């Protein structure tokens, strides 16, 4: 309901309740007034009778006699004999007043019937209702014409207009002027509202200024990011050029020895074309050419030009296949090899390229131990960064890796055995293949003797693995 309707209903209900209360309280009072008036008339009449004056009251009847005949009790009789006029018990519509007449030595009782009070009460009710209605109309008119419009309806309408201005975005009309604010509770609400809106606008301006500054900073950061990206591209180009230079130098160093041997063999043939080529020289030339071929294949593997394959791979079978190849090609008869990998361990990957990883690592270990020692391979599951990984450890009890070489062990052409059995690319190729599979590889020396290679492969494909493309993934932090 609207406030005006509520107020009209309130003061109308109040007036009705007040009228009912007045009517209910005036009725008994009016009856009592009539009774007292009748009693007063009866007392006056009985005084006149006792005084010997004629009775002029037509509505009063008199009775005379002793106490028993008049129905007067001993207590009332004693009071009457003392000269008092006493109101005697009577009915609801009759008033009895008694007195002692000493001249006649008798009791005199005046009895007066109460007049019809209904008409009187109805007249009083009518006058009272008219008075209440008149007062109510006057008060309601004063309230509705002057008091409420000025002190209630007006301020509320002003509040509504100001709130509508806020909703429509009219900044000029959203605040209520001070001269339109009353000095009552509604005025306090208006002032509090003005203060809240003023504070809100100040915060909006501060936020707008902050956003503008942020935009300026963001634009500056974008420019700086572009500069950084350009610098990074330049650094990457420089790194590639530097890597290419290192690779070229290493490749030249790797090829010099077999080319020198091949050159010497060819020169001896040219100098003595008629002489048959010795068998040992032919075998040497074949070995040199084979080494150059291996170097070429290693460069292709290092360049990662082969497409990646993703299929379930049993790591135990891969390790056993790699050891079979190494044991046939190397002097490994004195090497004790054990594998503790469960046959049920399956990871996604390329079986051939993973076999190449283990072949390269096992060859490196066999070469380092010079055909005597022990190689142990174990694997275990681990959780890292909410993913499951397979950790494979390849440990040997051969000589430890030179600490100076250890940080660069997986760089191309970083080898301690640059002879006909090594190209310096094996571990670099292994590291590239493991990275293609979303894992990482590391090496560390054992405390007493030997070293261990640690390979970590994911049990699931990296998030960016798609189709047959090479998988790239930033591996979790590896072992120290």
Tell me: do 113 and 252 sit in the same domain: no
Domain of 260, CATH number, reads: 1.10.287
Tell me: do 364 and 469 sit in the same domain: yes
Tell me: do 11 and 93 sit in the same domain: yes
Report yes or no on 412 lying in a domain. Answer: yes
The domain boundary residue, chosen from 303, 321, 337: 303
Tell me: do 124 and 246 sit in the same domain: no
Q: How far is CA 454 from CA 183, 341, 424, 431, in A?
A: 83, 14, 19, 11
Distance of alpha carbon 356 from alpha carbon 325, whole angstroms: 10
Distance of alpha carbon 24 from alpha carbon 14, whole angstroms: 16
Q: What pLDDT, on the 0 to 100 scale, is given for residue 479?
A: 40
The answer to whether 399 touches 449, Cβ cutoff 8 Å, is yes
For residue 66, give every residue at least 6 positions away whose Cβ sits within 8 Å of its Cβ, in sequence order, or none: 106, 107
Distance of alpha carbon 417 from alpha carbon 405, whole angstroms: 12
Report yes or no on 120 lying in a domain. Answer: yes
Tell me: do 248 and 369 sit in the same domain: no
Report yes or no on 148 lying in a domain. Answer: no
Domain span holding position 354: 309-480
Tell me: do 237 and 255 sit in the same domain: yes
Tell me: do 263 and 353 sit in the same domain: no
Tell me: do 327 and 467 sit in the same domain: yes
Tell me: do 259 and 296 sit in the same domain: yes
Q: How far is CA 377 from CA 314, 422, 447, in A?
A: 15, 23, 18
Tell me: do 376 and 404 sit in the same domain: yes
Domain of 321, CATH number, reads: 3.30.565.10
Report yes or no on 186 lying in a domain. Answer: no
Q: Single out the residue of 368, 375, 366 nearest to residue 417, CA to CA.
A: 368
Residue whose structure tokens are 């301690």: 416
- Going by DSSP bridges, is the β-strand pair 440-445/451-458 parallel, antiparallel, or unpaired? antiparallel
State how many domains the chain has. Answer: 3
Q: What pLDDT, on the 0 to 100 scale, is given for residue 22?
A: 76
Q: What pLDDT, on the 0 to 100 scale, is given for residue 477?
A: 44
Report yes or no on 445 lying in a domain. Answer: yes
Tell me: do 313 and 238 sit in the same domain: no
The domain boundary residue, chosen from 136, 170, 199: 136
- For the chain, 480 residues long, the average pLDDT of each consecutive 10-residue run is 72 80 76 80 82 69 83 83 83 82 84 72 79 83 80 83 87 86 85 90 91 90 83 70 59 62 78 80 76 66 61 92 75 84 90 86 85 90 86 92 84 54 69 88 89 91 44 39
Tell me: do 239 and 321 sit in the same domain: no
Q: What pLDDT, on the 0 to 100 scale, is given for residue 244?
A: 60
Report yes or no on 195 lying in a domain. Answer: no
SS3 call for 163: helix
Report yes or no on 355 lying in a domain. Answer: yes
Report yes or no on 177 lying in a domain. Answer: no
Q: Model pTM greater than 0.85?
A: no
The domain boundary residue, chosen from 81, 114, 136: 136
């Amino acid at each position: 309901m609207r406030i005006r309707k509520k107020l009209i209903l309130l003061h109308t209900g109040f007036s009705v309740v007040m009228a009912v209360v007045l009517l209910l309280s005036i009725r008994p009072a009016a009856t009592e007034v009539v009774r007292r008036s009748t009693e007063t008339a009866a007392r006056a009449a009985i005084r006149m009778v006792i005084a010997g004056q004629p009775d002029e009251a037509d509505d009063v009847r008199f009775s005379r006699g002793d106490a028993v005949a008049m129905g007067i009790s001993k207590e009332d009789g004693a009071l009457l004999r003392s000269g008092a006029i006493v109101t005697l018990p009577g009915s609801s519509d009759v008033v009895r007043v008694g007195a002692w007449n000493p001249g006649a030595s008798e009791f005199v009782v005046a009895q007066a019937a109460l007049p019809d009070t209904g008409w009187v009460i109805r007249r009083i009710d009518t006058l009272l209702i008219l008075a209440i209605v008149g007062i109510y109309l006057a008060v309601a008119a004063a309230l509705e014409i002057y008091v409420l419009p000025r002190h209630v309806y007006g301020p509320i309408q002003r509040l509504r207009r100001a709130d509508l201005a806020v909703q429509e975005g009219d900044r000029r009309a959203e605040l209520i002027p001070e001269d339109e604010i009353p000095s009552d509770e509604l005025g306090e609400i208006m002032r509090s509202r003005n203060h809240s809106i003023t504070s809100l606008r100040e915060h909006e301006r501060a936020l707008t200024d902050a956003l503008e500054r942020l935009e300026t900073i963001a634009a500056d950061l974008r420019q700086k990011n572009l500069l950084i990206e350009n610098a990074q591209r330049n650094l990457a180009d420089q790194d590639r050029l530097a890597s290419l230079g290192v690779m070229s130098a290493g490749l030249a160093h790797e090829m010099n020895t077999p080319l020198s041997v091949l050159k010497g063999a060819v020169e001896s043939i040219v100098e003595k074309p008629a002489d048959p080529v010795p068998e040992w020289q032919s075998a040497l030339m074949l070995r040199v050419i084979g080494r150059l071929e291996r170097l070429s294949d290693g460069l292709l593997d290092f360049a990662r030009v082969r497409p990646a394959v993703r299929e379930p791979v049993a790591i135990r079978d891969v390790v056993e296949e790699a050891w079979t190849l190494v044991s046939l090609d190397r002097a490994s008869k004195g090497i004790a090899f054990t594998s503790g990998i469960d046959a049920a361990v399956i990871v996604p990957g390329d079986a051939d390229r993973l076999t190449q990883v283990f072949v390269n690592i096992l060859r490196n270990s066999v070469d380092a131990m010079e055909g005597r020692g022990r190689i142990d391979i174990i694997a275990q599951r681990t959780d890292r960064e909410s993913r499951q990984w397979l950790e494979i450890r390849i440990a040997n009890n051969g000589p430890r890796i030179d600490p100076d070489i250890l940080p660069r062990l997986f760089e191309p052409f970083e080898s301690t055995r640059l002879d006909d059995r090594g190209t310096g690319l094996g571990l670099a190729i292994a590291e590239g293949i493991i990275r293609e599979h979303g894992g990482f590889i590391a090496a560390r020396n054992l405390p007493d003797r030997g070293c261990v290679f640690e390979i970590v492969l994911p049990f699931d494909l990296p998030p960016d693995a798609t189709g047959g493309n090479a998988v790239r993934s930033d591996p979790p932090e590896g072992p120290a």
